[in-house]
Structure 1
Amino acid sequence: MLEKKGTILSVREDLKVFDCTIRDGGLVNNFYFSDEFVKAHYEMCVKAGVDYMEIGKNVSPTLMSEDEYGAWNFCKEEDIRRVVGENNTNLKIAVMSDIGRSLKEELRPKNESVVDMIRIATYIHQIPAAIELIEDAHAKGYETTVNIMAISKVSEKELDEVLEALSKTNVDVIYIADSFGSFYPEQIRDLTEKYLSFAEKSGKKVGIHAHNNLQLAYANTLEAMIYGASFLDVTVSGLGRGAGNCPLELLLGFLKNPKYKQMPVLEFIENYIVDLEKKLDWGYSIPYMITGQLNEHPRAAMKARDEGDTKYREFFKTISFME
């Protein structure tokens, strides 16, 4: 039986607040954030006591066009340093590597980079390539995490086999990724127990990356945390693909560790997010609810939102018969 890790008043030193605003938010605007926005966000993370900031993806420019995506889809070293300098702070910088879009040959050694962590995003069928990238990043001196995507679509046997394989690698953190925003807290609790059973035997941590299709991103993040997950993914105002993520300001308002400060986040929201909300579309809506309930990728919901389609009953019927 899985036991709770402390109480609502506990200060857990193992907890790490992981801000994904630029990376997950970049999926909303093709990573076209200005340097001013990213620098203000970086400074907010430092002041708020955030542990990690994911500044974007390190997609290879040979695989995706720099004419179609902003700088933070590629995270070249000079672009990152233009914002964070030498990053002489307690905040660690991370970038995400998508299997099939990032090339290990382009990843420089850690001692030549201001980046601290490489996050690998992978589907089940890409695990061999993910393990290869994990070991390469580890050998070059980086911390590593792995996000196994779309786990709501795979069998328990498949997931067990993948977790067993990952437990034997040098990855530091294995993430529960609720890719479609379809999980409920009880399911997250069970997944946390499963992931921990594989991770802890080899000294690894477990993280949670939630989406808000069912308005459960915050609840699911707390559920995973209470039962032992220690890396907690968040974004400012939930900014992220589709229904968005667990809001940073909500989590910081809950955590009892005095190192975390909520006011810098509220200041950033006032100065940058209020205006951004008028230009970009993200967060809970009926189409995202439907894809979450039916355990489907939100791409159809994103299309419906873009087209202003409010024929929700027809949308529900269409998604129901997608399989």
Structure 2
Amino acid sequence: MEKDYNEEVKVIDCTIRDGGLVNNFYFKDELVKNVYSSCREAKIDYMEIGYKASEEYFSYKEFGKWKFCKEEDIRNVVGESKSGTKLSIMADVGRTNFNELLPKNKSIIDMIRVAAYIHQIEEACEIIKNISDKGYETSLNLMAVSLLKERELNNALEKISKSKVNVVYIVDSFGALYTDDIKDLTNKYLKYIKSSGIKLGIHAHNNRQMAYANSIEALKNGATFVDATMYGLGRGAGNCYMELMLGYLNSQKYSIRPVIQCIQDNILPLKEKIKWGQDISYMLTGQYNIHPKCAIDFLKDENHVKKYLEFFDGVKKY
């Protein structure tokens, strides 16, 4: 069925950033370039090309270059003349030296997306002010919202509503939420931020195979930014599938064909080397609303196929 397209909706491709959590950001430049080219051809609004982590906290011995997103590395991939798809990077509070960020007029990056947990909100808002003053678009990903008590969330949203952030995200970090939860959260977030002109986004994980449905629910109720990855590439159970989301938006603006080609030529070959996507263990961490790290570790065991009941009994204790 045809649907009305909301011209305010912006799609962010997180294939490299979220996918980097699967392979420690060891993507070849050619693959990153191909994803970027596909985003441009598909007319996707933003591509998140990686993290801006600090070498004070992480080492090149353990992580690839897209964990650090140095300006010269990005320019080597996307070129100097950039149009169409904007570029974003993510930076975690407490894991990034924000003083290292160049002013926007010296950077090819358009948006800095700050990720923070509830106890870091005040620091995150101050960081966002500094980033905004440097000329960047900003977003704030409030992590692990499914764990928050209502009073905690209300207090955080009150502070965020007074900040200089452009977009705040509902982040279903553990893939634990259902559509009713997303509807309630969307309405709550908008209640606090709408009068400030702050936009709302959705970043969903697929532990319960709800990422696509939850993303749609958020858009239906007023969110205008949505994250997705090609073939769902992302940590653990993965993310909302880009090819599904573009099909849902069903507009003349976006083209699915370049995404399908990128999946065929670049993403599917990764499946032979790294693992992501639906698994019973990820489903269980979603059901019990816990971080998927234990499932990730479980799947490293070559004999895990014979140990699902053991995992089930263990995860119930959380």
Q: Same fold (TM over 0.5)?
A: yes
- Pick aligned residue for 1:18 from 12, 26, 29: 12
Deviation string, structure 1 residues 101-127 (Cα, Å, up to 9, x no partner): 111110110000000000000000111
Partner residue of 1:289? Answer: 283
For the pair 1:318 / 2:299, whether they are aligned, the reply is no
Task: Report the TM-score when normalising by structure 1.
Answer: 0.96
Deviation string, structure 1 residues 167-198 (Cα, Å, up to 9, x no partner): 00000001000000000001000000011111
Q: Distance in 2 between matches of 1:307 and 1:99?
A: 32
Cα drift, residue 86 of structure 1:
2.4
Partner residue of 2:49? Answer: 55
For the pair 1:90 / 2:84, whether they are aligned, the reply is yes
Q: Distance in 2 between matches of 1:154 and 1:138?
A: 27
Cα drift, residue 12 of structure 1:
0.7
Give the letter for the 2:314 counterpart.
T
Q: Map 1:1-323 onto structure 2 (within 5 A).
A: 9-308=3-302, 309-310=304-305, 311-322=307-318
Q: Distance in 2 between matches of 1:61 and 1:100?
A: 12
For the 8 Å contact 2:122–2:159, the answer to whether it is kept is no
Cα drift, residue 88 of structure 1:
2.3
Deviation string, structure 1 residues 10-63 (Cα, Å, up to 9, x no partner): 111110011000000000000000000000000000000100000000001122
Cα drift, residue 8 of structure 1:
6.0
Partner residue of 1:4? Answer: none
Give the letter for the 1:257 counterpart.
S
Q: Distance in 1 between matches of 2:143 and 2:111?
A: 19
Give the letter for the 1:128 counterpart.
E
Count of aligned pairs between the two proteins? 316
For the 8 Å contact 2:236–2:282, the answer to whether it is kept is yes
Cα drift, residue 264 of structure 1:
0.2
Q: Distance in 2 between matches of 1:13 and 1:229?
A: 12
Give the letter for the 2:103 counterpart.
P
Q: Distance in 2 between matches of 1:298 and 1:136?
A: 33
Secondary structure of residue in 1 paired with 2:55: coil
Deviation string, structure 1 residues 74-94 (Cα, Å, up to 9, x no partner): 000000000112242111100
In structure 2, runs of 5+ residues without a counterpart are none
User: Which runs of 4 or more aligned residues in structure 1 lie more than 6 Å from their structure 2 counterparts after TM superposition?
Assistant: none
Give the letter for the 2:230 counterpart.
V
Provide closer, same or farther for how the CA distance between residues 87 and 188 of structure 1 changes in structure 2, counting only shifts above 3 A.
Answer: farther
- Return 84-93 or 136-145, whichever deviates more: 84-93
The alignment-based identity, stated in percent, is 52
Give the letter for the 1:321 counterpart.
K
Secondary structure of residue in 2 paired with 1:307: coil
Cα drift, residue 256 of structure 1:
2.3
In structure 1, runs of 5+ residues without a counterpart are 1-6
Provide closer, same or farther for how the CA distance between residues 88 and 72 of structure 1 changes in structure 2, counting only shifts above 3 A.
Answer: same
* CA RMSD, Structure 1 to Structure 2 (Å): 1.0
Secondary structure of residue in 1 paired with 2:265: helix
Give the letter for the 2:14 counterpart.
C
